[in-house]
């Protein structure tokens, strides 16, 4: 448990009180998030990540606030404490699609550590479409056939595409974009580390889900400036959306004891996600060189 | 950048200090920012990342060496000394009101000279000066001066062909012989510096402020000066920094060679020049670059100043050159 005196004695704040116990404090300089780290490597990774993000993307982010002694973290007997800004006003991402695209591309390019996806993570995962679902609904049966076709296409796209993938801080939502004086402030809410491709794809999916297709091309133009589609990285993104992830998730979720009502809700969601994947593929296929004929 | 964008940009910079402005005033490249936590000066510069790294090194060095006569640069809550908004690099200082009336017997010039000497004394480092590097330094400066002299001589040759001289041309021609003499003297002293340095095989380098002028100091009510703007700071010979300061004094106030000697005495009480450094100092002062610059301004097609203004300015600079000559003679009475 974090004690307030740890912060009172070591940070340049006054009038400190808990706004949300163990998470957010109220100070004379506004609300600040307090984080406790048990693992030093984890702590260093996240400190370093925020520094690099701020420097390379040129945006404000919740870097660690220094202690009175200039330290980035406060060592205590329960672990390391760090303090960060909390910004409540949301950045209107849909008004800045190009800027957001550029930012997400830079985010994905930050080279903390990179790895080449193993066989299990690519080909192995590609074989995961269920052979046959015990569900006698015509739409599912149609989708099943199409999912197998999508899987093959994704494999074709990925053939001879040895791309290293960066590890980045996971993005839970585009709502992490906050606004300070009209400028983008990125709030790192997640401790988990994610592959840059998974991060980008989840952001693109959220964008289409929230804002539709109207500004998607502008977002992709911005993304293309910092994360070029005209190379193997573009193929990875395309393959991600061609591959029937949403159908596989549905297959993993389904079993015969699910109620009809539950299945209806999940099917609606599957159709929605399927549709989003299709839309994104239509928008990015043209940008990936020599690939259009493989997905059409 | 329009006003709203600029305000937002400044707001985003100040956010990194946990400061929220109540009022902002623009003073050239400095924003005076009033906040609930005090009044601050936010300086906007065009420093590149490399220049900013050097600037930070200089600030840390001043702090490490314990030089007290400096307006401190404040760190952001993240520990940064400078903040970039992509276009400009900024740094923040507490707002020091500059007192024109102070409780001190010393003139501001005397204080500045004394404190500059202390800066040089604190940061002094002696290095081996091998013959090749000394020759290179000498040759680089001499080549630069030779190029300048040639340009100006060509110009003077051209105007000598004129049937009638303009007032500016006439003034220049009247004093050109003395100007050339001063250039020769500068070279002689530079030559002397080279000879003596080669004998000694050592050179001194100090942290030079780089632009020691009155506007880059703030005086408190007790007459203590605090330097600011170390953006042009370099590790170089102390002679360079002191010559820059003297040149500045020569331009902004009336002076005579006795006063010049007095300032040098104050400097040397705190940081005595070696013989060769004194030669270098006077060679910097003697080279008539200020007169040459007047010719550059006069011949500039974009010139906006009137002929009469140019003549008056040239005459003032000639007067300064004559005083420098007297100062030179006083410091080196036996120098040929």
Predicted-complex ipTM score? 0.85
For the domain that residue A19 is a member of, what is the CATH number?
A: 3.30.200.20
Query: Which of A85, A104, A127 is the endpoint of a domain?
Result: A85
CA A208 – CA A201 distance, rounded (Å): 11
**In this complex, do B15 and A182 lie within 8 Å of one another by their Cβ atoms?**
no
Burial class (CB in 10 A: 0-12, 13-18, 19+), A118: exposed
A204 & A74 share domain: no
The DSSP 8-state label assigned to residue B113 in this structure reads H
What integer is the mean pLDDT of B132-150?
Answer: 94
Question: Burial level of B97, CB count in 10 A (0-12/13-18/19+)?
Answer: exposed
Indicate yes or no: CB of B18 within 8 angstroms of CB of A30.
Answer: yes
Residues A204 and A149 in one domain: yes
Q: What is the mean pLDDT of residues B292-306?
A: 95
Quick one: CA torsion of A245, A247, A253, A255, rounded to 10 degrees? -150
User: Per-residue pLDDT tens for B73-107?
Assistant: 999 999 999 999 888 999 999 999 999 888 888 99
Based on the domain organization, do A69 and A99 belong to the same domain?
no
Q: Residue A281 belongs to a domain with what CATH number?
A: 3.90.1200.10
The domains located in chain B, with CATH, are 3-11+23-94 (3.30.200.20), 108-331 (3.90.1200.10)
Decide if A70 touches B, using CB distance below 8 A: yes
Q: Give residue-wise pLDDT tens across range B6-21.
A: 778 899 999 999 999 9
Domain that holds residue A22: 4-85
Q: How confident is the model at residue B129 (pLDDT cuts 50, 70, 90)?
A: confident
Site of tokens 């395309």: A238
- Closest-CA distance, A287 to chain B, in angstroms, reads 29
Q: Can you read off the two tokens belonging to residue A47? A: 């400190």
Q: Cα–Cα distances in Å, from A127 out to A149, A245, B1, B293?
A: 12, 11, 54, 77
A260 and A137 within one domain? yes
* pLDDT at residue B326 in the model: 94
Confidence bin at A124 (pLDDT 50/70/90): very low
- Helix segments in A67-215, DSSP class H: 97-109, 125-126, 138-158, 196-211
Choosing from A67, A85, A103, the residue where a domain stops is A85
Domain tally, chain A: 2
Select the more confidently predicted residue: B299 or A123: B299
Write out the two tokens for A149: 């076709």
Coil, helix or strand at residue B33? strand
pLDDT (0 to 100) of residue A258: 80
Contact by Cβ (8 Å): B112, B225: yes
Whether residue B16 and residue A60 make contact (CB cut-off 8 A), yes or no, is yes
Are residues A164 and A50 located together in one domain of the fold? no
Tell me how crowded residue B166 is: count the other CB atoms within 10 A of its CB: 14
Q: What 3-state DSSP class applies to B277?
A: helix
Would you say residue A229 has pLDDT above 90? Answer: no
Same domain, A222 and A273: yes
Query: Residues A77, A120: one domain?
Result: no
Query: What does the mean pLDDT of chain A come to?
Result: 88
Nearest to B21 by CA among B316, A248, B285, B13: B13
In this prediction, residues B274-300 reach a mean pLDDT of 96
Measured between alpha carbons, how far is residue A273 from residues A166, A281, A296 in Å?
25, 12, 19
Using pLDDT thresholds of 50, 70 and 90, give the confidence band for residue A177. Answer: very high
* Cβ-defined contact of B79 to A66 (cutoff 8 Å): yes
Write down the pLDDT at residue A251.
84
What pTM was estimated for this model as a whole? 0.86
What is the C-alpha to C-alpha distance for residues A270 and A247, in angstroms, rounded to an integer? 7
Buried b (16+ CB within 10 A) or exposed e, B279-307: bbbbbbbbbbbbbbebbebbeeeeeeeee
Are A121 and A72 contained in the same domain?
no
A31 and chain B: CB distance < 8 Å anywhere?
Answer: no
Q: Indicate if A81 and A97 belong to the same structural domain.
A: no
pLDDT score, position A230: 82
The pLDDT assigned to A123 comes to 44
A148 closest CA partner among A127, A178, A171: A127
Query: Least CB-CB distance to B78: which of A30, A58, A66?
Result: A66
According to DSSP, residue B230 is labeled -
pLDDT in tens, A271-285: 999 999 999 999 999
* pLDDT, position A119: 47
Q: What is the DSSP string of B5-19?
A: HHHHHHHHHHHTTT-
Pick the last residue of a domain from A59, A85, A111: A85
Q: Identify the three-state secondary structure at position B134.
A: helix
CA torsion, ordered B182, B188, B189, B192, to nearest 10 deg: 180
**A101 with A244, same domain?**
yes
- Chain A contact for B68 (CB, 8 A cutoff): no
Could you tell me if A103 and A75 lie in one domain?
no
B88 by Cβ neighbours in 10 Å (0-12 / 13-18 / 19+) ranks as middle
Q: Which residues contact A30 (CB under 8 A, 6 or more apart)?
A: A85, A86, B18
Which chain B residue has the Cα nearest residue A72?
A: B78
Beta bridge partners of B202: B128
* A38/A140 same-domain check: no
């Amino acid at each position: 448990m974090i004690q307030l005196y740890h912060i009172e004695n070591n940070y340049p704040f006054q009038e400190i009180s808990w706004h949300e116990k163990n998470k957010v404090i109220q100070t004379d300089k506004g609300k600040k998030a307090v984080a406790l780290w048990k693992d030093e490597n984890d702590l260093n990774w996240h400190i370093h990540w925020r520094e690099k993000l701020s420097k390379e993307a040129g945006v404000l982010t919740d870097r660690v606030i220094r202690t009175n002694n200039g330290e980035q973290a406060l060592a205590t007997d329960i672990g390391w404490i760090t303090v960060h800004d909390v910004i409540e006003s949301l950045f209107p991402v849909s008004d800045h699609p190009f800027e957001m695209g550029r930012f997400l591309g830079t985010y994905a390019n930050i080279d903390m550590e990179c790895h080449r996806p193993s066989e299990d993570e690519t080909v192995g995962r590609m074989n995961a479409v269920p052979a046959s679902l015990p569900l006698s609904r015509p739409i599912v049966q149609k989708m099943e056939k199409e999912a197998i076709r999508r899987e093959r296409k994704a494999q074709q796209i990925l053939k001879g595409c040895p791309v290293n993938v960066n590890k980045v801080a996971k993005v839970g939502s585009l709502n992490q974009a906050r606004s300070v004086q009209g400028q983008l402030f990125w709030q790192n809410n997640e401790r988990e580390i994610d592959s840059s491709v998974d991060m980008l794809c989840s952001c693109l999916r959220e964008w289409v889900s929230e804002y539709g297709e109207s500004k998607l091309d502008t977002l992709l133009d911005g993304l293309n400036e910092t994360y070029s589609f005209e190379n193997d990285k573009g193929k990875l993104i395309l393959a991600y959306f061609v591959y029937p992830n949403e159908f596989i998730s549905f297959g993993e979720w389904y079993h015969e004891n699910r109620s009809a009502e539950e299945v209806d809700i999940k099917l609606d969601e599957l159709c929605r996600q399927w549709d989003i994947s299709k839309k994104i593929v239509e928008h990015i296929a043209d940008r990936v060189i020599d690939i259009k004929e493989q997905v059409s | 950048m329009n006003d709203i964008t600029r305000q937002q940009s400044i707001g985003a910079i100040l956010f990194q200090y946990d400061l929220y402005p109540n009022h902002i005033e623009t003073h050239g490249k400095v924003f005076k920012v009033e906040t609930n936590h005090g009044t601050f000066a936010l300086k906007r510069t065009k420093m590149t990342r490399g220049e900013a790294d050097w600037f930070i090194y200089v600030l840390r060095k001043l702090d490490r060496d314990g030089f007290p006569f400096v307006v401190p640069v404040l760190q952001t809550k993240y520990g940064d000394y400078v903040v970039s908004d992509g276009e400009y690099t900024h740094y923040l200082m507490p707002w020091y009101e500059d007192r024109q009336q102070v409780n001190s017997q010393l003139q501001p010039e005397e204080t500045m000279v004394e404190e500059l000497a202390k800066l040089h004394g604190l940061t002094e480092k002696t290095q081996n000066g091998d013959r090749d590097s000394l020759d290179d330094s000498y040759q680089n400066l001499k080549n630069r001066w030779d190029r300048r002299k040639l340009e100006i001589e060509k110009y003077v040759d051209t105007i000598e062909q004129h049937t009638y001289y303009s007032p500016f041309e006439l003034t220049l021609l009247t004093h050109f012989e003395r100007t050339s003499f001063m250039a020769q003297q500068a070279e002689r002293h530079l030559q002397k510096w080279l000879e003596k340095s080669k004998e000694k095989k050592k050179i001194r380098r100090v942290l030079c402020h780089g632009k020691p002028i009155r506007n880059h100091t703030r005086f408190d009510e007790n007459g203590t000066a605090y330097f600011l703007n170390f953006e042009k700071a370099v590790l170089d010979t102390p002679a360079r920094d002191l010559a820059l300061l003297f040149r500045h004094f020569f331009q902004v106030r009336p002076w005579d060679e006795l006063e010049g000697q007095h300032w040098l005495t104050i400097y040397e009480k705190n940081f005595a020049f070696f013989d060769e450094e004194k030669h270098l100092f006077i060679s910097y002062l003697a080279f008539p670059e200020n007169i040459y610059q007047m010719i550059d301004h006069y011949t500039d097609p974009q010139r906006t100043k009137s002929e009469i203004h140019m003549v008056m300015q040239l005459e003032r600079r000639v007067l300064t050159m004559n005083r420098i000559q007297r100062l030179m003679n006083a410091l080196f009475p036996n120098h040929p």
